[in-house]
Amino acid sequence: MASQSVSASIAIFVVGLTTISTILWMRRRQSCTSLSAYEKLVGQTPLIRLDLLSELLQRSIYVKMEHLNPGGTGKDRAALCMIREAEVRGELPPPNTRAGKKETTVATETPLSSTLNFSDDYLHKVISNAMKRSATGGLVVEGTSGSTGISLATLCSSRGHACLVVLPNDQAPEKQQILETLGAAVLEVKTASISNPNHYVNIARRIDLLAKERGISSVFINQFENLANFKTHCEITGPELWHQAGKIDAFCMSSGTGGTISGVAESLKTKFNSKCRIVLVDPPGS
């Protein structure tokens, strides 16, 4: 009887722990999937029919106005999804949208032009500088020369995470200024081949590892290999396009990471029209 009682107690204890874990996970997921007023503006951009061109071609030609996302780019979709997925997985803390924006000036880390190799001590200073703006204790790191950095900066500000963008030094000064204004810490590095450890993406990956060693809840977004980039366009952008247009026979766009065109293509061809033609427009040498 005593043995049965102990077994029953252990069973109840295990079930109790499982229940508590489930409740905590559900609360984390609910917190991480909630959206601020700013974030609710992402997506559902207008689909505009180009009447003159449509009449000339005798086809209905539409353009998706992705620049009307709050960050001014379609990258807002992927950036929001990648951040939220990291929160749900526990790599980032839950968002803290009520803490308010910290009034801390974050200086840009711009090495001397002769600097190519970065010591761990130097990068730790960069991390500490970025973390001054974190209301959650979380840090989002990405190496980007495009609009993804701007989207990450706006959304990190909205959700309370610090944002650290590693930027090659061949970009327009205005891009760096925008990132700083949006609250991101910027590390400018010399341009290098992707195989070089000092390529901006590789530096971002290294910074993330150093932050993790310090116990910081850090995530390297890694947009080129992040499946959430594909997922958001497959599950949201593709169906959104189809329902707005009513019917789509061909989808045409340029590409950066490939996340948008591959996600939309998968959605349109597998869920709506298997004969839909997908066209990628890419300049020579891209």
Provide the H-helix boundaries in 132-247: 148-159, 173-181, 200-213, 227-232, 238-245
pLDDT at 24 (0 to 100): 42
pLDDT at 28 (0 to 100): 46
pLDDT at 277 (0 to 100): 96
pLDDT at 23 (0 to 100): 43
Residue type, 221: I
pLDDT at 15 (0 to 100): 52
Tokens of 247: 């019917």
Quote the CA–CA distance of 280 and 123 in Å, as a whole number: 38
Q: List the one residue out of 131, 127, 137 whose CA is nearest residue 95.
A: 137
pLDDT at 117 (0 to 100): 72
Q: List the one residue out of 24, 23, 161 whose CA is nearest residue 86.
A: 161
pLDDT at 105 (0 to 100): 45
Global confidence as pTM: 0.81
pLDDT at 189 (0 to 100): 92
Range 10-13 contact pairs with CB under 8 angstroms and sequence separation of 24 or more:
none
pLDDT at 42 (0 to 100): 94
Q: What is the pLDDT of residues 146-194, one digit of tens each?
A: 789 999 999 999 999 999 999 998 888 899 999 999 999 999 999 888 8
Give pLDDT tens digits along the chain (286 positions).
555 555 555 555 555 545 544 444 344 444 456 788 899 999 999 999 999 999 999 999 999 999 999 999 999 999 999 999 999 999 999 998 665 555 444 445 544 333 557 899 999 999 999 999 999 999 999 999 878 999 999 999 999 999 999 999 888 889 999 999 999 999 999 988 888 989 999 999 999 999 999 999 999 999 999 999 999 999 999 999 999 999 999 999 998 889 999 999 999 999 999 999 999 998 887 6
If DSSP codes are grouped into helix, strand and coil, which group holds residue 238? helix
